[in-house]
Amino acid sequence: MFFSNREDDVPLHELDNGNEPLLPSQRNSPRLYDYVLVADKVEDMEDQIFKKQDAFICELKQKDIKVTRIDHHAKVFFGICAPEEIFAKYKYLLKVSDACNWSGEQKCDLSVSLCTRDYFGEKVALYYLWLGWYTRMLIPAAVIGIVVFLYGLAFFNTSPLIHEVCDSDIIMCPRCDIGCSVWNLSDTCSYAKVSQLFDNEGTVAFAMFMAIWATLFLELWKRHRALYVSKWKVYDWCEEEEELILEIVNNPQCKPKEFRHSYLRSIVVLLLVTLVLVVIIGLTHALVICRVLTAILLSKSDWDFLRDHATTIAMLSGAVLHYITIQVMTRVNKIVAFKLCEFEKTRSFAATEKHFTVKMFTFQFFTLFSSLFYVAFFLGRINGYPGKYVRIAGEWRLEECHPSGCLTDLFIQMAVILVLKQTINNIFEFTVPWLKLCFKRTKAKTVSKKCGKCCRKACREEEGNFDPCDPCKLRNWLENYDLSEVNAFSLFNEFLEMVLQFSFTTIFVAAFPLAPLLALINNIFEIRLDAIKMVSLERRLVPKKTNDIGVWTRILEAVGVMAVIANGLVIGISSDFIPRLVYRYHYGPCATSNSTSLDCMTGYINNTLATAFLSNPEVRKDFEYLLKSGYNITSCSYKDYRSDEDQSLTSQFWLILALRFAFVILFEHVVVMCKFIAAWFIPDNPIRVKNERLEDKLKRLQKELHEANAIYSSKCTEV
What is the C-alpha separation between 100 and 238, in angstroms, rounded? 8
Average pLDDT over residues 380-406: 76
Q: How far is CA 5 from CA 158, 391, 531, in A?
A: 65, 62, 18
Over residues 292-299, mean pLDDT:
75
Q: Find the mean pLDDT for residues 194-201.
A: 77
Instruction: Choose among 501, 245, 498, 239: nearest CA to 354.
Output: 239
Summarize the confidence of residues 486-511 as an average pLDDT.
Answer: 87
Flag whether pLDDT at 208 surpasses 60. yes
pLDDT value at residue 96: 61
Count the neighbouring beta carbons within 10 Å of the beta carbon of residue 680.
Answer: 9
What is the C-alpha to C-alpha distance for residues 500 and 507, in angstroms, rounded to an integer?
10
pLDDT higher than 90, residue 600: no
Residue 450: which of 482, 474, 467, 481 has the closest Cα? 474
pLDDT at 29 over 70: no
Write out pLDDT tens, residues 628-641.
776 778 888 888 89
Using pLDDT thresholds of 50, 70 and 90, give the confidence band for residue 308: low
DSSP code of 537?
I
**Which of 147-151, 540-544, 651-655 ranks highest by mean pLDDT?**
651-655
* Averaged pLDDT for residues 349-357: 87
> At a CB cut-off of 8 Å and minimum separation 6, what does 669 contact?
none
More confident: 701 or 402: 701
Res. 112 pLDDT band, cuts 50 70 90: low
Instruction: Flag whether pLDDT at 710 surpasses 90.
Output: no
For 589, the 3-state DSSP assignment is helix
- 3-state SS class at 420: helix
Q: What confidence category does residue 126 fall into, taking pLDDT thresholds of 50, 70 and 90? A: very high
What confidence category does residue 595 fall into, taking pLDDT thresholds of 50, 70 and 90? low
Q: Tell me how many helices (H) and strands (E) the chain has.
A: 25, 12
Q: What pLDDT shows up at residue 463?
A: 47
In this predicted structure, the answer to whether residue 552 has a pLDDT above a threshold of 90 is: yes
For residue 555, pLDDT beyond 90? yes
Question: Rounded distance, CA 584 to CA 576, Å?
Answer: 12
Banded pLDDT at 192 (limits 50, 70, 90): confident
What mean pLDDT is predicted for residues 168-188? 80
Residue 518 or residue 428, greater confidence: 518
Statement: residue 76 has pLDDT above 80? yes
Q: What is the CA radius of gyration of the chain?
A: 33
Q: What is the pLDDT of residue 139?
A: 95
* Dist. CA 73–CA 41, nearest whole Å: 8
CB 121 within 8 A of CB 232: no
What is the structure's pLDDT at 109?
47
Q: Looking at per-residue confidence, does 289 or 24 come out higher?
A: 289
pLDDT band for position 146 (cuts 50, 70, 90):
very high
Q: In the prediction, which pLDDT does 144 show? A: 93
Per-residue pLDDT at 323 exceeds 90: no
CA torsion sign, 342 to 344 to 345 to 346? negative
Question: pLDDT at position 459, please?
Answer: 43
Mean pLDDT of 500-504: 90
Max mean pLDDT among 281-285, 363-367, 542-546 falls in: 363-367
Mean pLDDT of the chain: 80
Cα angle, residue 22 at apex, residues 9 and 28 outer, rounded to 5°: 45
For residue 636, list its beta bridge partners. Answer: 612
The average pLDDT across 571-581 equals 86
Residue 275 has pLDDT above 90, yes or no: yes
Query: What is the rounded average pLDDT of the residues 463-469?
Result: 56
Per-residue confidence (pLDDT) for residue 179, from 0 to 100: 65
Please give the residue that has the higher pLDDT: either 362 or 173.
362
Whole-angstrom distance, CA of residue 525 vs CA of residue 520? 9
Handedness of CA 347, 349, 350, 355 (dihedral sign): positive
Q: How high is the pLDDT of residue 446? A: 54
Cα distance between residue 98 and residue 591, in whole Å: 71
Question: 139 versus 504: which is more confidently predicted?
Answer: 139
Instruction: Report the pLDDT value the prediction gives residue 445, as an integer from 0 to 100.
Output: 62
**CB 543 within 8 Å of CB 87:** no
Q: Minimal CA–CA distance to 440: which of 531, 535, 538, 540?
A: 538
pLDDT band at 16 (very low <50, low <70, confident <90, very high): very low
The reported pLDDT for the residue numbered 460 is: 42
Residue 499: the pLDDT is 92
The DSSP annotation for 103-163 comes to -TT----S-HHHHHHHHH-HHHHHHHHHHHHHHHHHHHHHHHHHHHHHHHHHTTTT-HHHH
Among 284-298, 365-379, 596-610, name the one with the lowest average pLDDT.
284-298
Residues 200 and 197: their CA atoms lie apart, in Å, by 7
Residue 462 reports pLDDT greater than 50: no
**555 three-state secondary structure:** helix
Q: Which residues lie closer than 8 Å to 606 by C-beta, 6 or more apart?
A: 164, 170
Per-residue pLDDT at 644 exceeds 70: yes
Q: Is the pLDDT of residue 254 over 60?
A: yes
Q: Are 211 and 679 in contact (CB under 8 A)?
A: no
Name the percent of the chain lying above pLDDT 70.
85
pLDDT for the residue numbered 361 = 93
Q: Distance between CA 686 and CA 497 in Å, rounded?
A: 29
Which residue did the predictor score with more confidence, 207 or 7?
207
Quick one: pLDDT at residue 402? 66
Confidence at residue 470, expressed as pLDDT on a 0 to 100 scale: 67
